[in-house]
A = this chain, B = another copy of it.
């Protein structure tokens, strides 16, 4: 019982994640999720009573996965530039494994912005305290005095944007050459790090 139970639940969650991430809540169909999971619609409602409940389960997981664990790296004892290199590398790697994550999160948060409050409670991190910690470190370390909030947004944006803007970049810049686009994404692991490190160096 328990074995099958868990595995079926996981199969459903995986199928739901796939469909929801691709189509969004409004575009997703319960039937499609059932098909993807290899079960029928009735069983879907047997495990998760409603589309909303199923979606919530997916979204919470996805949001946690999307949240860069920036603190963990940034509070280590590396050189500041090495911290940036480590963060960018890890974060882009995660996005390469979950390319649909960013647009999904953004799309659904725009559909229901109040959700952000719910999420803030479930996550313990406090971006404010991290920012002031880093602000101090950079000021002491001969790094340009860019407000830390901007630096954090810049870093995340540089990592995330190429995934959100995939159709435009792949289609417009790379003439629909998927291979070139993927190579471009991998290149960015070093390219973005160099870019950021250079940007905050005092001349």
Instruction: Judge whether B187 and A150 touch: CB under 8 Å.
Output: yes
User: What interface size band does chain A fall in?
Assistant: 35 or more
Smallest beta-carbon distance A160→chain B, Å: 7
Smallest beta-carbon distance A120→chain B, Å: 7
Instruction: Judge whether A153 and B162 touch: CB under 8 Å.
Output: yes
Contact mask for chain A residues 117-135; partner B; CB cutoff 8 A; 1 contact, 0 none: 1001000000110010000
Cα distance A106–B106 in the bound complex, in angstroms: 10
CB contacts under 8 Å to B, within A96-116, are: 103, 105-107, 109-111, 113, 115-116
Which B residue's beta carbon lies closest to that of A109?
B167
Cα distance A127–B169 in the bound complex, in angstroms: 10
Contact mask for chain A residues 151-189; partner B; CB cutoff 8 A; 1 contact, 0 none: 011101110111011111101110110000000100110
Residues of B contacting A110 in the complex (Cβ-Cβ under 8 angstroms): 103, 166-167
Which B residue's beta carbon lies closest to that of A172?
B127
Which among B23, B131, B153, B187 is the interface contact of A169 at CB below 8 angstroms? B153
Residues of B contacting A171 in the complex (Cβ-Cβ under 8 angstroms): 113, 116-117, 120
Copies of this chain, tallied across the complex: 2
Please name 9 pairs of A and B residues whose Cβ atoms are closer than 8 Å in the assembled complex, sorted by A: A106-B106, A106-B165, A115-B167, A116-B168, A146-B191, A154-B192, A157-B157, A157-B162, A198-B199
Chain A residues with a Cβ under 8 A of chain B: 23-24, 26-27, 103, 105-107, 109-111, 113, 115-117, 120, 127-128, 131, 144, 146-147, 149-150, 152-154, 156-158, 160-162, 164-169, 171-173, 175-176, 184, 187-188, 191-192, 194-196, 198-201, 203
Residues of B contacting A165 in the complex (Cβ-Cβ under 8 angstroms): 106, 153, 156-157, 160
